[in-house]
Amino acid sequence: MQYILIGIIILAVIIVISGIKFVPQATEYVVVRLGTYSRSLQAGPHYVVPFIEKVAKKVSIKEQVADFRPQPVITKDNVTMQIDTVVFYRITDSRLYTYGVERPLSAIENLTATTLRNIIGELELDSTLTSRDTINAKITAILDEATDPWGIKVNRVELKNIIPPKEIQDSMEKQMKAERERREKILQAEGEKKSQILVAEGEKESKILRAEAEKEAEILRAEAEKQAMILRADAVRQQKILEAQGEAESIALVQNALAESLVKLNASNPQDNVIALKSLEAFAKAADGKATKIIIPSEIQGLAGMVTSIKEIASNSTKSNP
């Protein structure tokens, strides 16, 4: 009997201990009581009444990633392509997540596929390929609103890959190649244009520099000629000045000599006959010049008459004394 009591006590202790639950961080436990939802246990220690309450579901409230397989969609211009999506979501209400929908992940996948088909069906192929951000925003808004009753918060949806048909890919590659060739030709044309512009600008600058150099050379030549003319004029002027000074000095010397001769002549008290003879010598020198008119003083005229008279007397005396 004692052993039975001990066994009952041990069993009771085990049962009591089994009701102690430690909820990990970022996890919630959904507890039901007699099959009905009772409460959600947050992180930390909790106690669940054995046999009456139990943990129906353990829910992670961390952000999760669901990578769905590619879905076939048709664009507005009837091009079928494969698009796979990635959904980032987080559980905000463990009770709604547990009882709101059966297989929530499958529900999200189907909802994503139908929403994607509706959005892509309104777009053409080119718009689909260039409007990923717009498509992502629309899908995220629709899924977030649709999953609220399930206790799920859709943070964002990304189009992981867009796979068009093989013939479309080939056509796109050809188009891209043609576009690259077109851009290459444009770049080459722009390069040649810039090169020609630079060459023309270089020639223009060269011509301007040559013209400026020729202009400066002409100016320098003109200034050199001007200086040369000024120097020649100065030389001629200096020569004339020197010649005039020489003539003046020569005349001064002659005048001084004449004056000295007159002084000496006066000092020697010459007779009238000597003075008359000197006058004739001076007259002879004047007659030898190049003057066309000679004015003979009256004294010299009288002297000439006297000389003629003397000559006649001398000749008569010679005839009378044969």
pLDDT of residue 130: 83
pLDDT at residue 309 is higher than 70: no
Q: How far apart are the first and last CA of the chain?
A: 233
Inter-axis angle of helices 272-287 and 298-320, nearest 10: 110
pLDDT tens-digit map of 47-58: 999 889 999 999
- Most confident segment among 68-72, 141-145, 181-185, 279-283: 141-145
Residue 71 contacts residue 113 (beta carbons within 8 Å)? yes
pLDDT of residue 108: 92
pLDDT of residue 307: 47
Residue 68 contacts residue 112 (beta carbons within 8 Å)? yes
Cα gap 227→220, rounded to integer Å: 10
Q: Which residue has the higher pLDDT, 292 or 151?
A: 151
pLDDT band at 248 (very low <50, low <70, confident <90, very high): confident
Q: Which CATH architecture has domain 64-164?
A: 2-Layer Sandwich (3.30)
pLDDT tens-digit map of 254-298: 777 777 776 676 666 655 555 555 655 555 555 555 545 545 555
- In the chain, where are the structural domains located? 2-60, 64-164
pLDDT of residue 314: 46
pTM score above 0.75:
no
The predicted model gives 95-116 an average pLDDT of 90
